[in-house]
Amino acid sequence: MNLILLGAPGAGKGTVSKLLVEKKGMVQISTGDILRGAIKEGSDLGKKAEGFMTRGELVPDQLILDIIEEKLSKEKFPNGFILDGFPRTIPQAEGLKKIMSRLSIKINAAVDLIVDENEIVKRLSSRRTCSNSDCQAIYNVFSKPTKKEGVCDLCGSPVVQRSDETEEAIKVRLNTYKEKTAPLVDYYKNEGLLKSIDANTGSDKVCESIISTIE
């Protein structure tokens, strides 16, 4: 089972991906992890990506696609994989489709996690992250507070609200999503791959809904 996870920031893509990894033995593939892995390995593509990132520039679509193709061609995924956070745009989706065709890999579904906008703002604005770059544990002031207020349970570092998780910043992110990423829903609907899941419920229920819908 090979899936693409779609959904606005705060829809729970990362959490649901981890549950699918635990329950079904799938592999979570995120562009951030792939880029960091390629850089760490010192591959030619990794070195190119590092140059863009060092200069503070966006890594070009084609380079990201090349790195994804390299990963998918080198590794085996007996229980399938989850593409989390990619593609983000129609050109990326079209590039990914060509890669899948070249590698004879089938995408079984593009799962759109649907969450009310007010719920997304609540989720993200209440999130707190450990300030220790080696830890980065994530908490939530409502559903997963730290044992000691403002202090990470794991390493004792301060927990902070990220600058992109204030209510104002979240609304900007949602507008960007609607403009650039939401059109992927229609793209994958036209491809006959779209599955829409109500993600306002808990992550476990969302995960079970995905599994039952796909299988």
Active site residue 127: yes
* Strand spans (E) along 17-164: 27-30, 81-84, 109-114, 127-130, 138-140, 159-160
Indicate which residue of 71, 173, 189, 195 is catalytic.
173
Please indicate whether residue 55 is annotated as part of the active site. no
40 is catalytic: no
Q: Which of 84, 161, 87 is nearest to 123 (CA)?
A: 161
- Does residue 36 have an active-site annotation? no
Report the chain's terminal Cα–Cα distance, integer Å. 9
- Answer whether the bond into residue 9 is a cis peptide, omega within 30°: no
Q: CA-based Rg of the chain, rounded to a whole angstrom? A: 18
- Given the structure tokens 């990619």, which residue do they identify? 86
Across the beta sheet with 81-84, the strand order is: 27-30, 81-84, 3-7, 109-114, 194-198
Is 102 marked active-site?
no
Contacts of 119 (CB under 8 A, 6+ apart): 10, 200
Catalytic residue among 98, 144, 148, 162: 162
Please state, in angstroms and rounded to a whole number, the distance separating the CA atoms of residues 120 and 199.
10
For residue 64, which of 41, 102, 20, 30 has the smallest C-alpha distance? 30
Active-site residue, from 48, 88, 97, 195: 88
Catalytic residue annotation: 13, 88, 127, 162, 173
